[in-house]
Amino acid sequence: MDTNDKLYSSKFKTADIKLGYGCNDKCVHCVVEKLRDIAIQNKHLDLKTDEYLKEIDKVISDGIKRIVVTGGEPTIRKDFPIIIDYINSFGIEIFLQTNGRFLSNSNLIDKIKNKINTYIIALHGPNETIHDIVTQSSNSFNQTVQGIKNVVKIGGNVCGKTVISKLNYKTLLQTCKLYNKLGVKEIYIAYPHSSGEIDYLKKIAPTYTQIKPYIEQCLTWAIENNINLKLESILPCNLDKEFPIKYYYDFTEFLAQKKYKMLDENYGSWEEFTKMDKKKDFSKCQKCVFNNFCNGIWHEYTNLYGFEQIRPITKIHDKSNLKF
Ligand code: SF4
């Protein structure tokens, strides 16, 4: 399987720019739902075309080499091809974060063909039953799968992104296998982030203990089949077995100096962003070999369950596991 290693190189400074909050799915784990409600109240759901183009100008003058176009759902906007053409005119890389449903439309594919470097497409289950319950949108699985097929057919680079929830964690391996069958080059599995909401966490997220065997199953499969898998907000101390550090996205991102732009918020680095929202147990983490480049786990998780599931890694048994 090909890799996207330059994604983790500090030479490729990246800015995530949110177009807004409008979306054609209603995922149970959606982190922007609350922000979306506030934006609707403020009548500022999505950036207007000229506002978005100005954001692009700003990050380009900052020396950014890659823009992640994200939302909400970027592809549902009428000006989506205009935005892609505009970024493309600067010759910088474009990553598109999407639910992939509109990519099932071949007219849209024709307009953006060869202009996007990487498509990050979200599948939240291995079949219609699970995926459509997570997205709360009927026919979303079939459209997303068709979207992935269309992008692969035009030679596009696809990364798969699955957010863990109580609805899908037992089928993570099947979802990974489906991505692989569809020709996806890289797979991300992310632990959900509730921006501090404890009730959300109780309702949506399984515990690290619950997901552990399923995550270890995916990692074992990825190693055996040379699959480029990345875990987001799941750390070595949350698992029992020792796995190579390159599978932990938090550590690789930390080294990439990524920049962020949320609608209505200022830029910050990945490090600043996660430092605000993640927590460590210093008495334990000080003893951990990863202490210097780890920001810990989402603070709402520690508020609900404490630090029980943080067990410092004091020894690496296989030194080759430390290679990125
Ligand atoms: S530094 Fe702390 S939170 Fe990070 S991996 Fe080690 S024990 Fe876990």
Domain range list for the chain: 5-277
H or E segment at 169? Answer: none
pTM of the model: 0.88
Those residues with Cβ within 8 angstroms of residue 38's Cβ, 6 or more apart along the chain or in another chain: none
Which stretches of the chain drop beneath a pLDDT of 70? 1-12, 31-44, 195-196, 253-275
What is the per-residue pLDDT for 7?
Answer: 42
Which long-range contacts does 137-142 make (Cβ < 8 Å, 24+ apart)? 137/24, 137/25, 137/26, 140/25, 140/99, 140/101, 142/104
280 class by beta-carbon count within 10 Å (0-12 exposed, 13-18 middle, 19+ buried): buried
CA of 208 to the centre of ligand 1 (A): 14
Those residues with Cβ within 8 angstroms of residue 227's Cβ, 6 or more apart along the chain or in another chain: 1, 176, 180, 187, 221
Q: Which two tokens stand for residue 260?
A: 């962020």
**Pocket of ligand 1, candidates 294, 295, 302, 309: which has the most ligand atoms within 8 Å of its Cβ, to mutate?**
294
CA of 217 to the centre of ligand 1 (A): 21
Ligand 1 atom index nearest CA of 311: 7
Ligand 1 atom index nearest CA of 284: 7
Ligand 1 atom index nearest CA of 238: 8
Q: How many residues does the chain have?
A: 324
Distance CA 229, CA 221 (A): 10
**Pocket of ligand 1, candidates 288, 292, 316, 321: which has the most ligand atoms within 8 Å of its Cβ, to mutate?**
288
Distances (CA, A) of 115 to 90, 98, 152, 212, 298: 11, 15, 14, 38, 35
What is the per-residue pLDDT for 46?
Answer: 82
One-letter amino acid for residue 25 of the chain: D
CA of 205 to the centre of ligand 1 (A): 20
CATH superfamily of 5-277: Aldolase class I (3.20.20.70)
Ligand 1 atom index nearest CA of 291: 1
H or E segment at 166? Answer: none
Which residues have any ligand 1 atom within 6 Å of their CB?
235-237, 280, 284-285, 288, 290-291, 294, 296, 310, 312-313
Residue nearest ligand 1's atom 3 by CA: 296
**Of the candidates 188, 124, 137, which has an alpha carbon nearest to the alpha carbon of residue 158?**
188
